[in-house]
Amino acid sequence: MDEIIRAAVVGCGMFAAKHLASYKKNPRVELAAVADVDIARAEAAAAEYEAKAYPSVADLLAGEQIDVASVTVPVCRHAEVAQELLEGGVHVLCEKPLTATGKEARRLVELAEEKGRVLTVGYAFRFTDMFATAKRWLEAGRIGRIMMARLHFAHILNKAGRGWYGEIDCGGGIVRESSTHSIDLFRWLVGDVAAVCGQAGTFGEQMTDAEDSAAYLLRSTNGALGVIDVSWATPVSQNRVEIYGADGSIVVDIDQRKATCRTIDGGEEVFSGEPAMAADRVYCEIDLLIDVIAGQAKPLVTAVDGVRAVEVAEAVMKSIKTKRWVQL
């Protein structure tokens, strides 16, 4: 594709830097503008990345011809910001989770279809080589029929000190804000989710009314079992995914950026060599999105994947409240 894509980033907080740097680095993209309701933040990002600053999506759309935009605002604002962009004819890469509720997510998917725009969600672990390798091993049948998976994400970072992450009405809480990464990986690697049952706790000091830790069980539609445990309040960070099949296991050690496949015949294959992760995975998701917009590729994360992850998170939250299994 020869045409240069004009990009914008809406929301210039902590995570926006990954999107800004990725658009800036991509030779097929011109990072044209940024927007933030906090205009000082927008102006700081605009100065750093040589773009124009706007105080709102409306002003951005009035002032610029934009092809694609990343949504990097707090979760409770995803739906309204993505809606405004789609209505303005802009393709959207929305940070995860797609929205705060399943109802909002389903509405966005309909809108994207109606407007003929691409809507994708920032489940960037799918773009890492270690998980792509695990996916290839699974598709090649290396470990046979999947029986069980464990997805463990323990983070030292205390997002509780960062405002909306600790507030349930702002889309905060680890189940929805963070564990949707695990839900998406489970759905992608193991299968869609049929039922969940969870518990949550708060161990950090600065949460307003949302949980900072959770553990839950899943059953997939193909009969596999799953365990997801996540925390923002552990004293060390440790992140790891284990998948067990009838003929072997796959372990992705995220911190070591390494994937290992062991089979019952004694075989062992190790993948390591993941490049420095955080910036690259967002770069890769944006690079693919440019191909998708040009009609040259299919999205790796569909809008429907985004909806399902929110629906599963909602079911987990319901299970925590009702202390019962919830079917999807």
Ligand X SMILES: NC(=O)c1ccc[n+]([C@@H]2O[C@H](COP(=O)([O-])OP(=O)(O)OC[C@H]3O[C@@H](n4cnc5c(N)ncnc54)[C@H](O)[C@@H]3O)[C@@H](O)[C@H]2O)c1
Report the interface residues with ligand X, using CB under 6 A: 10-16, 35-38, 41, 72-75, 77, 81, 95-96, 122, 124, 164, 177
DSSP string, 75-98: GGGHHHHHHHHHHTT-EEEEPSSS
> What's the CA gap between 129 and 259, in Å, rounded?
9
State which residue, 42 or 197, has the beta carbon closest to ligand X: 42
184-213 burial: b if 16+ Cβ within 10 Å, else e = bbbbbbbbebebbbbebebebeebbebbbb
Q: Would you state the structure tokens that stand for residue 224, as one six-digit string?
A: 């596999």
Report, in Å, the least distance between residue 324 CB and ligand X. 28
Report, in Å, the least distance between residue 59 CB and ligand X. 10
Name the closest residue to ligand X (Cβ). Answer: 13
> What's the CA gap between 98 and 90, in Å, rounded?
16
Q: Which residues contact 79 (CB under 8 A, 6 or more apart)?
A: 99, 100, 101, 104, 105, 107, 108
State which residue, 13 or 204, has the beta carbon closest to ligand X: 13
Report, in Å, the least distance between residue 60 CB and ligand X. 9
Half-sphere exposure of 215 (CA within 13 A, CB side): 4
Report, in Å, the least distance between residue 71 CB and ligand X. 7
State which residue, 6 or 126, has the beta carbon closest to ligand X: 126
Report, in Å, the least distance between residue 201 CB and ligand X. 21
Beta strands in 63-192 (DSSP E): 68-71, 91-94, 119-121, 146-154
State which residue, 36 or 67, has the beta carbon closest to ligand X: 36
Half-sphere exposure of 260 (CA within 13 A, CB side): 10
State which residue, 70 or 220, has the beta carbon closest to ligand X: 70
Report, in Å, the least distance between residue 177 CB and ligand X. 5
State which residue, 98 or 243, has the beta carbon closest to ligand X: 98
Q: Which residue has the tokens 């998980």?
A: 131
Other CB atoms within 10 Å distance of the CB of residue 323: 9
Report, in Å, the least distance between residue 185 CB and ligand X. 12
State which residue, 147 or 279, has the beta carbon closest to ligand X: 279
Report, in Å, the least distance between residue 270 CB and ligand X. 25
State which residue, 227 or 279, has the beta carbon closest to ligand X: 279
> What's the CA gap between 199 and 211, in Å, rounded?
10
- Closest of 280, 272, 234 to residue 254, by C-alpha: 272
